[in-house]
Structure 1
């Protein structure tokens, strides 16, 4: 069983590109070149180079031509198997990261779709220098790559890095998100060696199953070397699984080895009990929260040294009496006005204005640059993104429902989308009615053409409470009827030896289901056509050599296919053979009669005619 999943696409190896997991896919992702350097993604992001690659997608360094800044663009590889599932997982990753604002979690800028497919635009994290030069190379560097190039981290540096990741993951857990795939390859490092957690493709709600969960039952979740033991046997996991994985990452940072080689005796005495508890096999024996894990690492510093400074509300009030402090939306504690991140939990203290992208304090209601109401704008853009995502999955009625009530900001775009989607819905309804009518009157060719048009407007799957569910259900019911008609038509044509109908119905099956799903029946058609072509060719050669009886036996012994070019050739040759045999029989009778009458000249003339 392959334990690597499609969403693992941010891991970067020593050359800067991620090795592909061995996944069964409809295309070779390692060979795909989708956006060469210089191409512009989404009309805005100019590709500079590829920096990462995985089974589901590719990551580029790109220039945001609108804001003149470097970004990372994560592109979903098109034409892959399970495309619908990958698109949903891709969208879920974007939504998860967008809901998290923390200094040690990579931030998302945009999500979009162009003519090639879906993409996510994220913060570009420049890594520390790995070469001899004094200047950083500018390429992203994962913890895995750093340790392989520069050896394991010193104890204090590894503990500091882990404390920062405890802060990030503790924040995510408080937002109800468990990561499920923490590993050195998913930790990017900044030039100052601060960590940035990436790849939330496998993240899921902490409590209870997500109604949009797209992980298949029985499918392994995570990376084998770093997952908690319970992830091997169950999807029912909580934050303690992330605690185990982070402990495994810390062990790797200290030793350069995977956790199956964990040896507490090789750790400093003050680190041994902390890391041993984080890596306990049973969840109940580990730290129960990331806060506990982080506090234990802070407390173990030499002579009471605290590895990461903490600031209390009392300290803050004493240093900035009467100042314009802002309140953290996560921990609800005060922060100095100049702080960009919460000094208590690391939560981002600013957010980009949805309209002009100016950084605005979280406590501000209006943007100082464009004057828009931040709450209204966020609601509007959130609804717009959700509606576009739904429309991308052909759930146009759900998209319209999402846009109802959107007001206050740039409604011209919403109005244009509403008009466009209503036209699609009307077209879809008309096509469904025509599809139904074609099936009722057994117009199979017409039904197949309509099905091709409908496939571009009807969702492949949707939840039962979706407004598009009735449309999808009706379409699937009609598809079942079409499938039955097609198979019956193929069977009828085969039994009636109608080559034209037989090949046409198989062609229709290919149009509906694709060549990959019709391999067997395509091979059957090829075998029939090949055999018939061979028979007709041999019979034609035999007739040319005056071996008419042999040609007749060949044709008569073959299946009586008719219609189509091959079938018509067989019918014509068989008819010619019969005519020639009858003519020869009459000639033989005439020769025999001439012999009886001793008309030898006539006999010779007729024999000469027969030889021609």
Structure 2
């Protein structure tokens, strides 16, 4: 049975709960009278249904509906009603996110990591070409199938990239994002461009290569200060099989000054395709029984 005993939200029937978060619930749904399943990101009616939280979903819809790329989740519909709350309808892509797969051991991903990173980089590069920064790039926001299909998700924090004279009059941006992956300029509340996502992408690549985040700390303040001032441990000390050129590329992505990073993720993609992540290509691991994951969106 659905949340608060509901069976229908707008013109959609709730079938099963995929994941419940602090604010939103993700459901598999079907339009009334149709069989094709979709995913619903739902903000149920109640005390958490505020103008701000409903506005976040509307913003995510407004961003997502402008994006059409095979490695970006398809955003299809939006609705809000007093009795039903607010909902966002997306493509149903049933697979764990990258963070869940990292928890199973990054070595399980290494034999196919180059394909995953290539598709992920192109998805974010496409978003940049459409004039958006994602501002929350992290493994949790990439769904990856066993066939290496990728879907970039969650456009809640996305903002238009300021260009030309508008860059000179940008307001101080809200400090939002996930602390383990935030670029220094994002932490400082500056208006960010593509290079902030490139920093966050670099943090994710570092984690996928080594199984460790570039920075960890015992408090959020200490963690953010490390992003601002510290240097990450060299990848080569944690992953002996890394190609030196690839390690250098990832560390360039993690530079404090955006001007010292690659200008685009297409540059990362081209360097990835021209070389390799690993000195010796990892072999496909022996399959293990799947763990019980919440799947996809």
**Which residue of structure 1 aligns with residue 74 of structure 2?**
107
**Which residue of structure 1 aligns with residue 3 of structure 2?**
34
The answer to whether 1:285 aligns with 2:256 is no
Per-residue CA deviation, residues 559-585 of structure 1 (Å, 9 max, x unaligned), is xxxxxxxxxxxxxxxxxxxxxxxxxxx
**Which residue of structure 2 aligns with residue 339 of structure 1?**
none
Pick aligned residue for 1:169 from 108, 124, 129: 124
Higher strand share: 2
**Alignment partners' CA distance in 1, 2:85 and 2:48:** 14
The answer to whether 1:90 aligns with 2:45 is no
**Which residue of structure 2 aligns with residue 273 of structure 1?**
248
Pick aligned residue for 1:75 from 17, 42, 62: 42
The answer to whether 1:126 aligns with 2:81 is no
**Which residue of structure 2 aligns with residue 326 of structure 1?**
none
Pick aligned residue for 1:54 from 4, 15, 21: 21
Per-residue CA deviation, residues 77-127 of structure 1 (Å, 9 max, x unaligned), is 433468112222211100101100011110012111242211011011122
**Alignment partners' CA distance in 1, 2:246 and 2:143:** 24
**Alignment partners' CA distance in 1, 2:80 and 2:102:** 36
Unaligned segments of structure 1, at least 5 residues: 1-32, 128-140, 303-612
**Alignment partners' CA distance in 1, 2:47 and 2:205:** 35
The answer to whether 1:252 aligns with 2:207 is yes
**Alignment partners' CA distance in 2, 1:34 and 1:81:** 14
User: Could you state the TM-score of these two structures normalised by the residue count of structure 2?
Assistant: 0.76
Residues 273/112 of structure 1: CA separation in 2 closer, same or farther (3 Å cut)? same
Per-residue CA deviation, residues 315-339 of structure 1 (Å, 9 max, x unaligned), is xxxxxxxxxxxxxxxxxxxxxxxxx
Q: RMSD between aligned alpha carbons?
A: 2.5
Post-superposition shift, 1:236?
0.8
User: Could you state the TM-score of these two structures normalised by the residue count of structure 1?
Assistant: 0.38
Q: Highest Rg: 1 or 2? A: 1
Post-superposition shift, 1:70?
1.8
Post-superposition shift, 1:241?
0.5
Post-superposition shift, 1:218?
7.4
Pick aligned residue for 1:263 from 234, 247, 263: 234
Per-residue CA deviation, residues 399-449 of structure 1 (Å, 9 max, x unaligned), is xxxxxxxxxxxxxxxxxxxxxxxxxxxxxxxxxxxxxxxxxxxxxxxxxxx
1:413-492 correspondence runs (5 A): none
Unaligned segments of structure 2, at least 5 residues: 216-231, 278-297
**Alignment partners' CA distance in 1, 2:29 and 2:275:** 42
**Alignment partners' CA distance in 2, 1:59 and 1:252:** 26
Q: Could you say what secondary structure the match of 2:104 adopts?
A: helix
The answer to whether 1:297 aligns with 2:272 is yes
1:367-382 correspondence runs (5 A): none
Per-residue CA deviation, residues 518-570 of structure 1 (Å, 9 max, x unaligned), is xxxxxxxxxxxxxxxxxxxxxxxxxxxxxxxxxxxxxxxxxxxxxxxxxxxxx
